Every structure is written in structure tokens, then in C-alpha cells.
Amino acid sequence: MEVAVVLLIGLFTTVAVYLLLSRSVIRMLLGLTLLGNAVNLLIFVGGRLTRAVPPLVPANVYVPEPPFANPLPQALILTAIVIGFSMFAFLLVLGYRAYQSLDADDTDRMRLAEPEGGPNPPLSY
């Protein structure tokens, strides 16, 4: 099972990097979301995929009996999902507002949407 999830993480990362390198703002946002999901899966695999007992401590003992699932990666992933969704929503609105004001989704056309009479932006680095 770990091999399948690792291959899925590799696929997510590859597609995310491909989308992040495109010129479209929407594709960049989707690539950022896919990269966040790949990192979440990586954290989940780091916590070991196992059919262990949930980490509940019975009333008469102080420590659960091994093997038990590690709750820390699950808590980190839940937090990352909430933060990632809110960041995606904010960036989506920001991209939409940029599209409305500049009338462009292509980043090259956005760079050339400078005020008239001002200095031209650099076209290469």
C-alpha cells in the first residue's frame, strides 16, 4: 500500500510542478493546491500506514498498548487542509480580481499591463 501512495505522491508533485510552471494564473493555483495535497499525503505516509488500534487510552492504564496509530500526523494534516483551503479561496479571489482589473489571465500579459508613460517592466531576468 505504501508503494501505491508514494507513486500517487510523485504523480501529484509532477503535475503540480508542471501546472506551477505554466503562464495561466488558474493553472498556477491548481498546481499549488495539488502540491499541498502531495505534501499532506507525504506527512500521512510519514506517520506509517497501518491498521493499528486508535490511540485511545483505557481508563485503567496510563499508556495505550502498542501498536497504536500516531495521532500527530493526522492532526497536522487536518490543520493543513483547513489552511490550504482558506489560502486557495483567498488566492482564487485575488486572481479573479486581477483578471477583472487587468483583463488578462496570462502572466506575460499581466506584466505588460503597466501604466502608460511609466517605465517598462523587465521582460527577462
pLDDT tens across the length of the chain (125 residues): 788 989 999 999 999 999 999 989 999 999 999 999 999 999 888 877 777 777 778 888 887 777 777 788 888 999 999 999 999 999 999 999 988 888 888 887 776 656 677 777 677 77
d(CA 123, CA 104): 17
Spans of all domains in the chain: 2-107
Long-range (24+ apart) CB contacts under 8 A made by 50-59 are none
What is the pLDDT at residue 44? Answer: 85
Closest CA to 34 of 18, 5, 13: 13
| Alpha carbons 107 and 114: distance in angstroms, whole number | 12
Half-sphere exposure of 92 (CA within 13 A, CB side): 10
Domain 2-107: which CATH number of 1.10.287, 3.30.1150, 1.10.3470, 1.25.40: 1.10.287
Residue 110: how many CB atoms within 10 A of its CB?
18
Residue 72: predicted pLDDT: 85
Tell me, what's the pLDDT at 101?
85
Can you give the pLDDT at residue 16?
A: 97
